[in-house]
Amino acid sequence: MPSHQHEHRVNDDPKVTPVVEEYLEAIHNLTVDEGKPAIAARLAQRMSVSPVTVFDTVKKLKKEGFVVVDEKSKEIHLTERGEEVALSLARRHRLAERWLVDVLKLDWEEAHEEACRLEHAMSHRLEHALTSYLGNPQTCPHGNPSPGSGAIIDPNTMPLSQAAPGMRVIVNRIGEEAEHEPGLLKYLQEYNLVPGTPLQVKGISPFNDTLTVISNEGDEVTLGIKTAGKIWVLPLN
């Protein structure tokens, strides 16, 4: 059996610490979730740290060649090297979540917390083994594509918050941002707001910022518009 011991991975670089990995993955996920480059204020919010900490860390990331910062807009862009690190960590996180949910039967919230610990310690060999054992899963349990798996985000997906009243939709994925809101993953799983679930938008109340959906079983669930913005759906014809 061939050994993976000498295989090179960008994360073998001593400059790629767990903190560096976390920041680069957060920048990548913010860019994907919001469809625009990350800025320091959003990054501070995502990482639950002060703006000063983000400023200092981004300065180091820039010096090490992981990011570039637009002087005018202050937008943070990953370099090719930074993107490679971010995608590698995202892949390990999503593989770990798949294993924890599909095989060990942990719930979404527990799996996310454990995957955050495992992702930094996962070796190249274990990543290969898990990929093979799980059949190269295309997505994490929340429907987000796993880098390197060949999965593609359907361009017709949109946030549930943008669906019109009466529209029938199917849940496609739960944005990565939802993982950083305490209790939200548990709530969504409890109410079966998971990938593959068909819903009908009953109504939107712009005054109290809520949206109500009806499941196939006739159950009604009311969500805040902000939460609905983290649930990506596909319109059903």
pLDDT per position as a tens digit, 5-50: 334 444 567 788 999 999 999 999 888 877 788 999 999 998 889 9
- pLDDT at residue 1 greater than cutoff 90: no
Q: Tell me the pTM.
A: 0.84
Amino acid (1-letter code) at residue 75: E
**Equal CATH topology for 1-152 and 158-235:** no
Name the CATH code of domain 1-152 (choices 1.10.443.10, 2.60.120.1440, 3.20.20.105, 1.10.10.10). Answer: 1.10.10.10
Which is it for the CA torsion 11, 12, 14, 19, positive or negative?
positive
Nearest to 193 by CA among 166, 152, 230, 164: 230
Domain-wise residue ranges, the chain: 1-152, 158-235
pLDDT per position as a tens digit, 49-75: 999 999 999 999 999 999 999 989 999
At 107, the pLDDT band (50, 70, 90 cuts) reads: very high
**Which segments of the chain does DSSP mark as H helices, in order?**
18-34, 40-47, 51-63, 80-98, 108-121, 124-133, 184-190, 225-228
* 156-166 mean pLDDT: 93
Q: How many CB atoms lie within 10 A of CB 181?
A: 12
Structural fold of domain 158-235: SH3 type barrels. (2.30.30)
Cβ neighbours for 103, distance < 8 A, ≥ 6 positions apart: 134
Q: Give one DSSP letter per residue of 146-158, joined into a string.
A: PTTTT----TT-E
